[in-house]
Amino acid sequence: MNREPRGWMIFSALVALFLSVLPLPHWLEVVRPAFLVLAVLYFSITAPRAGGIGLGFFAGLAIDIFQGSVLGQHALALALVTYIVVREHQIIRSKPALQQSLIVFFALLAYEFVSFAIDGWTGHPITNPLRWVHTLTGALIWPLVIALLERGHSPR
Amino acid sequence: MAFGVSANRSLASRGPSPGFRFALYAIMSVTLMFLDQRGEWLRDVRYVLQGAAYPIQLAVSSPSAAWRWMSESVQTRDSLRAENEQLRTRQRQLEIRTQRYDALARENAELRGLRDALPPVADKWLVAEVVTIQPNSLRQSVLLNRGTRNGVFKSQAVLDDLGLIGQTTHVGPWSAEVILITDPEHAVPVEIERTGLRTIAVGTGTGLALPYLPANADVKTDDLLITSGLGGVFPQGYPVARVTGIQREAVQPLAQVRAQPLARLDRVREVMLVWFRPEHPAAPGSTTGADLKAGDAKAQPQVAPPKLKPTAPSSGPESETPKPGATPGGSPAKPASGMPASGGTPAKPSGAAAPSNGAPRPSGAAAPNNSAPKPRGAPGPGNTVPAPTEPSTPPSSPPSTPSAPSATSPDRTSSNAGVQR
């Protein structure tokens, strides 16, 4: 791989952002995976130099704006997760899809936990257990995410 | 590990190491959060960002909007005529009811000894459309297509034809976020219409709960809850919810009361933003829209302390004027009653309110004259009798009217009212 898929990355991040702010009925919203986070994770693994931690930070900031949460909350959470994934991207990349799903699951858990903790510190905790549901659905559709996003560029 | 190291090295050739970059971004995030939480320094940034995000939000909601437009435009002539007929009947009914209302208002005004019937409490209405439900399903909020360009301000009351919807939290140039009354972080000061008992209705996510009613409180299923006018956001007398269930357990000092909002919060499409006449007795507390627009709009409670300042000196002489004493009392009561507020602000303003009350308090404690309210654990259920204001404010001048609703506020006020003596 010589050329970084920057255009493709930005395009898919925007599409993912659209998908994650699309108004849905309530029950669907609960299980809606965090598309933008998944896209960021994908590019952190396959093309860590294209976006990296900066991508994570700005994607998180966009989530903050659209969700009306404290500015910087999801930015921090996503930057942290991206950092870890970028560090270990070669290990993760060499795993089969199923194990990657598991890793993504833990990454999503870490992401949600950080934002959960910040919710608590800033004084409006959401203790509703439904907030964790999307980590599971996100891990489940991970193979699909790979299949889709691989079409736009030639990883490795 | 060898992999990780080599990755580091290859990345390092292109600039700072990931660790360094992460530290940088982490510091940026934390700073942002700090600035957004404390103080109002990020308000303008947020305002701009919200303006920038609005086109995307519009675009995202456009499919459903287009669908609605389509289905509306292909309606048949017959169905339109039927709807027209229905609306006409409805309008007639409402007009008849309004006539009755006018008569009642006049009668009420006479009873109050006022010379003229008062104008309606709502000064101005603005219809707004719900653009999207906020993507985060765990918070109950919606986005409206009106912003500061239309004069919308923070903590403005939002209603629909059936009842209360919520209040604005973040206002952008063309859009405004509204927190619904069912959000777990939102609380509405209400009173039970049948008895006049005041309490607080807190959102539960799906409905409302009245967590501060004592077990022996006079509540029944199907009781109508209306806004009590305390809290400085909602005016008095608008329907909020209907009580759906009550649980009283012998061991529990408080009853567990649930209520269902009257407004169709889950599928509301059009709502009303309301401006109130600040001088009207039923207008929300002592805080007016103008205050909020000018004031540091982070949250409603924060407005209260500045409001105190101007009035405090006037009560400083603390000789005659019961009025000014009563007025500031209204505002601190708001934060104390845990009014909604975005952010962790509630704690702050109540702290801020305490010192400003501090000076008067000693004398206030000395003279608990008309303290109908219960102590302070339960903010709401205090005074069943709205009377206290009337005796404490003897036949006094017209300016008294605006303070009337706030003077009836639960606990803080009583300590403040004590100051007068």
DSSP for residue B265: G
A100, B248, B314, B418 from B364: Cα distances, Å: 66, 35, 16, 4
- Residue A53 CA, distance from chain mean position: 12
pLDDT at A22: 80
- According to the 3-state scheme, what is the secondary structure of B241-279? EEEEEEECCCCCCECEEEEEECCCHHHCCEEEEEEECCC
Shortest Cα distance, chain A CAs vs residue B330, angstroms: 25
Burial class (CB in 10 A: 0-12, 13-18, 19+), A137: middle
CB contact under 8 A, B7 and A26: no
Distance between CA B373 and CA B246 in Å, rounded?
A: 23
- B325: pLDDT strictly greater than 60: no
Residue B252 pLDDT level (bands cut at 50, 70, 90): confident
Backbone angles phi, psi at B398, to 5 degrees: -50, -40
For the segment A15-69, what is each residue's pLDDT rounded down to a tens digit?
999 888 887 777 788 888 999 999 999 999 988 888 889 999 999 999 988 887 8
Matching residue, tokens 């102590």:
B375
Q: Does the CB of A95 have a partner CB in chain B at under 8 Å?
A: no
For the segment B12-46, what is each residue's pLDDT rounded down to a tens digit?
455 678 788 889 999 999 988 888 887 667 777 88
Distance between CA B198 and CA B194 in Å, rounded?
A: 11
Distance between CA B367 and CA B352 in Å, rounded?
A: 23
Distance between CA A40 and CA A47 in Å, rounded?
A: 10
Closest partner CB to B18 (pick from A23, A57, A87): A87
For the segment B48-79, what is each residue's pLDDT rounded down to a tens digit?
888 888 888 888 888 777 887 887 777 778 88
Q: How does the average pLDDT of chain B come out, rounded?
A: 67
Count residue pairs from A and B with Cβ separation < 8 A: 140
Nearest CA in chain B to A29: B137
Shortest Cα distance, chain B CAs vs residue A76, angstroms: 5
Distance between CA B253 and CA A86 in Å, rounded?
A: 55
Residue B99 pLDDT level (bands cut at 50, 70, 90): confident
CB contact under 8 A, B3 and A131: no
Characterize the bridge pairing of strands B157-159 and B270-276.
Answer: antiparallel
Nearest CA in chain B to A22: B60
Nearest CA in chain A to B178: A68
pLDDT at B201: 93
Closest partner CB to A21 (pick from B36, B57, B343): B57
For the segment B256-278, what is each residue's pLDDT rounded down to a tens digit?
899 999 988 877 788 888 888 77
CB contact under 8 A, A122 and B343: yes
CATH label, A6-150, candidates 3.30.429, 1.10.1760, 1.10.3470, 1.20.58:
1.10.1760
Nearest CA in chain B to A57: B25
Shortest Cα distance, chain B CAs vs residue A14, angstroms: 10
pLDDT at B7: 45
CB contact under 8 A, B135 and A60: no
- B108: pLDDT strictly greater than 90: no
DSSP for residue B118: P
Nearest CA in chain A to B30: A72
Identify whether the C-beta of residue B326 lies closer than 8 Å to the C-beta of residue B407.
yes
Mean pLDDT for the stretch of residues A103-120 = 92
Closest partner CB to B22 (pick from A17, A18, A83): A83
Distance between CA B420 and CA B24 in Å, rounded?
A: 56
- B131: pLDDT strictly greater than 70: yes
| Contacts with A72 from chain B: Cβ below 8 Å | 28-33, 36
Helix (H) or strand (E) holding B143: strand B141-144
Q: Does the CB of A45 have a partner CB in chain B at under 8 Å?
A: no
Nearest CA in chain A to B131: A23
Q: Percent of chain A scored above 70 by pLDDT?
A: 96
| Contacts with A53 from chain B: Cβ below 8 Å | 18, 21-22, 25
Mean pLDDT for the stretch of residues B319-346 = 38
CB contact under 8 A, B30 and A72: yes
Give the Cα-Cα-Cα angle A107, A27, B129 (nearest 5 degrees): 110
Closest partner CB to B138 (pick from A17, A80, A131): A131
Shortest Cα distance, chain B CAs vs residue A63, angstroms: 10
Burial class (CB in 10 A: 0-12, 13-18, 19+), A142: buried
A59, A74, B99, B371 from A65: Cα distances, Å: 10, 10, 47, 46
Q: Does the CB of A58 have a partner CB in chain B at under 8 Å?
A: no
Burial class (CB in 10 A: 0-12, 13-18, 19+), B384: middle
DSSP for residue B262: S
Q: Tokens standing for A117?
A: 């903790």
Mean pLDDT for the stretch of residues B115-137 = 71
Q: Does the CB of A49 have a partner CB in chain B at under 8 Å?
A: yes
- A102: pLDDT strictly greater than 60: yes
What pTM value is reported for the model? 0.61
Nearest CA in chain A to B56: A18
Mean pLDDT for the stretch of residues B345-352 = 36
| Contacts with B28 from chain A: Cβ below 8 Å | 57, 72, 75
For the segment B362-412, what is each residue's pLDDT rounded down to a tens digit?
333 333 343 333 333 333 333 333 333 333 334 444 443 333 333 333 333
Closest partner CB to B18 (pick from A70, A86, A91): A86
Helix (H) or strand (E) holding B240: strand B239-247
Mean pLDDT for the stretch of residues B110-119 = 61
Nearest C-alpha neighbor of B282 from the set B239, B234, B315, B322: B234
Q: Does the CB of A79 have a partner CB in chain B at under 8 Å?
A: yes
List Cβ<8 Å contacts ≥24 apart for B110-113. none
Q: How many helices (H) and strands (E) does chain A have?
A: 9, 0
CB contact under 8 A, B30 and A76: yes
Nearest CA in chain B to A14: B56
Give the Cα-Cα-Cα angle B234, B204, A121 (nearest 5 degrees): 90
Nearest C-alpha neighbor of B414 from the set B368, B363, B356, B351: B368
Shortest Cα distance, chain A CAs vs residue B18, angstroms: 7
Distance between CA B292 and CA A103 in Å, rounded?
A: 48
Q: Percent of chain B scored above 90 by pLDDT?
A: 11
- Residue B120 CA, distance from chain mean position: 20
Matching residue, tokens 């699951």:
A105
Residue A156 pLDDT level (bands cut at 50, 70, 90): low
Q: Tokens standing for A79?
A: 């930057």
CB contact under 8 A, B344 and A122: yes
Choose from A19, A30, A70, A114 for mutation: most chain B CBs within 10 A.
Answer: A70
Q: Does the CB of A60 have a partner CB in chain B at under 8 Å?
A: yes
Who's near B396: CB < 8 A, 6+ residues apart? B322, B323
For the segment A122-147, what is each residue's pLDDT rounded down to a tens digit?
877 777 788 888 999 999 999 999 99
- For residues B4 and B121, the model is more confident at B121
CB contact under 8 A, B59 and A18: yes
> For chain A, which residues make up each domain, given as ranges?
6-150
Nearest C-alpha neighbor of A133 from the set A57, A32, A17: A32
pLDDT at B115: 54
CB contact under 8 A, A73 and B53: no
Shortest Cα distance, chain B CAs vs residue A33, angstroms: 12
Most confident of A69-73, B281-285, B309-313, B319-323: A69-73
Torsion of CA B401, B403, B409, B412, to 10 degrees: -150
Distance between CA B92 and CA B104 in Å, rounded?
A: 19
Q: Bridge partners of B127?
A: B272
Nearest CA in chain A to B28: A72
pLDDT at B15: 66
For the segment B138-196, what is each residue's pLDDT rounded down to a tens digit?
678 888 988 888 889 888 999 888 889 999 988 888 889 899 998 888 899 999 989 98
